Structure 1
Amino acid sequence: MRNMKKGTKFVATALAFGVLASTAFQGSNYLYHKANGGTVTATDKAELNIANAVSSNASNSGSSDTESAGSVSAIAQAAMPSLVAITNKSVREMQSMFGQSQAYESESSGSGIIIGKTDTELLMVTNNHVVSGAQDLSMGFVDESVAEATVKGTDADHDIAVIAVKLSDLSEDTLSAIKVIEIGSSSDLEVGEQVVAIGNALGYGQSVTTGIVSALNREVTIDNTTNTLIQTDAAINPGNSGGALLNMSGQLVGINSAKYSDTTVEGMGYAIPVDDVVDIIENLMNRQVRTEKAAEGQQGYLGVSGQDVTSEVAQAYDMPKGVYITTVESGSAAEQAGLQKGDIITKFDGTSVSALSELREQISYYKAGEQVEITYNTQENGAYVEKTATVTLGEKQTTETKTEMRR
């Protein structure tokens, strides 16, 4: 697959576009009990529809889809069946000035792109911040049908998530109306080349904008994570996040992200280059999910207390987003794996973690004795360094258990 690009910092000003990545809320079991990994059988393996840009353009030059080579309207018409509108219902918990917390429901909108299909699922890619904190996710398709969705997996560092809808939840009419997008090469883009952006702008439904590639390899840093992006003057509005940036052959070359857009400058939108994330997308597409919690008394236990490192905190104190460990229990699984106070957990078993409640929810689907990989950041010489640890989950000790052990 294609190599991912690396970058250094560029200050971006917009943290509050689309669905905020900082909306990592209490009670996010719907999202994370369906986002833990494993292996899949060959018959159910999903693969991206990656096009050879040169041969595809030549062989399809007479087709209706590639009338799009000179027509924005034809590109839009061909691509619409591959776009979905996402509605995210979540619960947000706020601290009052008196130290009390209050939970309230919120609803936000985003976009997604149909990138694959297995024997049982239809798969879409979107931005991680579009689905962060979700308790309910629903997809709106081109034929105006709606279906519930679950999250296969997320990668917060690259702002990528893959979501799934069961084929059994879709009618024959819907299945015949939709299609998997064709993926092109973002590496073939040139500055000044025309592109088309499609997404669920402002939650009003799919809309189309067009412009040019303003810059390539633009380094943008948010939440202390730098990504190398495509800059375009095609409008990328709130709700466009997770939508498609298409070349003039109608192929997907970027995933729009309003999160990175600049509110102070007109005509400065960003998209994640598809070449940089194809490996990540394929890995997330082929994750198996856990659908049942471990039985009471058998659930795994990590043995840490912590605080959420939100987007605002991460930016203010130059810290990675995740769960800041405030205490590590003596003899716990965390201590045995080398985790310490001050470390910041960012992933559990390959899935991004942005809140303590999410970490606990994920652990509840694992039994004591199971091994999982935890990604965390620790300070070395005044800077955070990412590390991984293999943790054998322990068993939470009740008061009765502790009393028995002391006898």
Structure 2
Amino acid sequence: MSDIQDRHDSGGSGAGCGCLAVALLLAVVAVLLGRPFLTDDGDGGAQAAPEESVVATPTSERPRSKKPSGRRPGVVNIFTEQGLRGVRAAGTGIVVDPSGLVLTNNHVIQGATEIEGTDTDDRRTYPAQVLGYQKSGDIALIRLSGASGLKTAKFAEKWEVRLGDVVTAVGNAGGKGGTPSVVTGKVTALDRQITATDQSDGSSERLTGLIETNAPIKPGDSGGPLLNTSGQVIGMNTAASAGFDLEKKGASRGFAIPSAKALEIVRQIQRGEASDTVHIGRTALLGVQVRQPTTPSGGRAGGAYIADLIPGTPAEQAGLRARTTIVALDDEPVDSPGSLTDMLLRHHPGDTVRITWTNAAGERRTTPVTLGDGPPQ
């Protein structure tokens, strides 16, 4: 995904800053409107990927083509408005159902107050709604409203991903819109682990079992398909960001979530099965800007410090105050802005929660807050 200044159906250029970095944590459901940047977490080695890292195990060996597949149907250019930050952003999606179901990265739609998707096959633009997402796995499912009869991407069913396989990455590079960009490369590692870190509060998520490729994936390509030489989707591109060094020893580096893992979450969302990691439906809004509090000596303190309140939101209406620290939600301790987000993701708009907070004098108070309707986290 890529932050952009203007939206284009074709041509144009994206802004230089990437989609995965911000300076201040804007907590609407609590926190994490910020984009994570990603760091390598081990060399991944040349070991074979575990079962979850491949699409399927082939029933027999087959020859590998060395010719890239090129572009295939089922790609959507995604554009979002982040109204609470005054930012426009862009990414990519993969059509998984003709009715307009689209798979993408969670960080593509994170913080979005409005979402549009342009199907690159029929060239039509549709408003979109978030059906559900897994923040910890960077996976989301959206629906293009009013869409029907869309061409779907073809997902590999019997294809083992191997080191050296030729791959093609397709996406909305730079947020330019129009015909998707197509870049090629090879699989350079399997079973990669990377850590997605929110720069504003230091919270992080570990993504595992990833496919690494030297295809030059760029911001905006996030959520797009990684294709094998047969044009089948074997992964969903992610981790291309301005906050991550994409160059190492002169070679581009990108990562993809194996399609089997992504489709498993898609099916769970379609079934409406919420869990500790998968959020279904609309997202609750608290309405505070928070950061990690510090001790007088500059160390890390527990809780979520309220730097500011978003005007007109439930937090302001309930009487929460800036320069105080949230320390519990429904009597469950809050030790960081990230934990506050996780707790609030268990709730939905209209739920009433008890927020316990302390002021500079150490006085402790509990305030009931009825949560509003906010952007996905």
Q: Which amino acid aligns with 1:216?
A: L
| AA partner of residue 290 (structure 2) | Q
The residue that corresponds to 2:233 in the other structure is 252
1:347 paired residue among 342, 345, 354: 342
Q: Can you list the C-alpha shifts for 1:7-28, whole angstroms capped at 9, x where unaligned?
A: xxxxxxxxx9752265875778
Give the equivalent residue in structure 2 for 1:239: 220
- TM-score using structure 2 length: 0.60
TM-score, normalised with respect to structure 1: 0.56
Is 1:225 the counterpart of 2:224? The answer is no
Work out the CA distance in 1 between the residues paired with 2:268 and 2:149.
27
Structure 1 residue 279 and structure 2 residue 251: aligned?
Answer: no
Partner of 2:107: 129
One-letter amino acid of the counterpart of residue 256, structure 1 = N
1:108 maps to amino acid: A
1:145-294 counterparts in 2 under 5 A?
145-166=124-145, 169-170=146-147, 175-176=148-149, 178-184=151-157, 188-204=160-176, 205=178, 206-223=180-197, 224-228=204-208, 229-257=210-238, 258-259=240-241, 262-265=245-248, 266-287=251-272
Give, in whole Å, the separation in 2 of the partners of 1:256 and 1:84: 13
TM-superposed CA distance for 1:280, in Å, is 2.2
TM-aligned CA deviation for residue 129 of structure 1 = 1.2
Give structure 1 regions of 4+ aligned residues with deviation exceeding 6 angstroms.
26-29, 50-53, 55-58, 317-320
1:153-188 CA-to-partner distances (Å, cap 9, x unmatched) read: 22222211111123xx23xxxx445224324467x2
Cα distance in 2 for residues equivalent to 1:176 and 1:305: 41
Deviations 1:203-224 (A, max 9, x none): 2230111111011112222213
1:89-130 CA-to-partner distances (Å, cap 9, x unmatched) read 11354xxxxxxxxxxx2212110001235xxx5211111111
Contact 2:116 2:126 in 1 (8 A): yes
Describe how 1:361-372 pairs up with structure 2 within 5 A. Answer: 363-366=348-351
Count of equivalent residues: 277
Checking the alignment, whether the CA contact within 8 Å between 1:190 and 1:213 is kept in structure 2 is yes
Aligned to 2:309: none
Amino acid at match of 2:195: T
- Percent identity over paired residues: 28
Larger C-alpha radius of gyration, 1 or 2? 1
State how far apart, in whole Å, the 1-side matches of 2:345 and 2:283 are. 18
Distance of 1:51 and 1:226 partners within structure 2: 20
Structure 2: tracts of 5 or more residues without a match = 1-15, 34-53, 198-203, 274-279, 293-298, 307-324, 355-366, 371-377
CA deviations over 1:295-353 (Å, ceiling 9, x no partner)? xxxxxx99x988246xxxxxxx9999x96693347xxx611xx33455722425756xx
Distance 1:21 1:53, change over 3 A: farther
Displacement of 1:242: 0.6
For 2:326, the equivalent position in structure 1 comes to 327
Contact 1:306-1:327 within 8 A present in 2 as well: no
SS of equivalent residue, structure 1 residue 270: strand
Distance in 2 separating the partners of 1:261 and 1:396: 38
> In 1, distance between residues paired with 2:17 and 2:157?
27
Cα displacement string for residues 136-162 of structure 1 (whole angstroms, at most 9, x for unaligned residues): 110011221100001112222221111
Amino acid at match of 1:235: P
In 1: Cα distance, 2:191 partner to 2:115 partner: 32
Aligned CA distance change for structure 1 residues 292 and 156 (closer, same or farther; 3 Å)? closer
2:313 aligned partner: none
Structure 1 counterpart of 2:139, one-letter code: I
Q: Structure 2 CA distance, aligned partners of 1:342 and 1:70? A: 48
Alpha-carbon distance between aligned partners in 2 of 1:368 and 1:226, rounded to the nearest angstrom? 29
Matched AA of 2:152: K
Which is helix-richer, 1 or 2? 1
Is the counterpart of residue 76 in structure 1 residue 70 in structure 2? Answer: yes
SS state at 1:282 partner: helix
In structure 2, what is the Cα distance between the partners aligned to 1:76 and 1:107? 29
Query: One-letter code of the match for 1:226?
Result: R
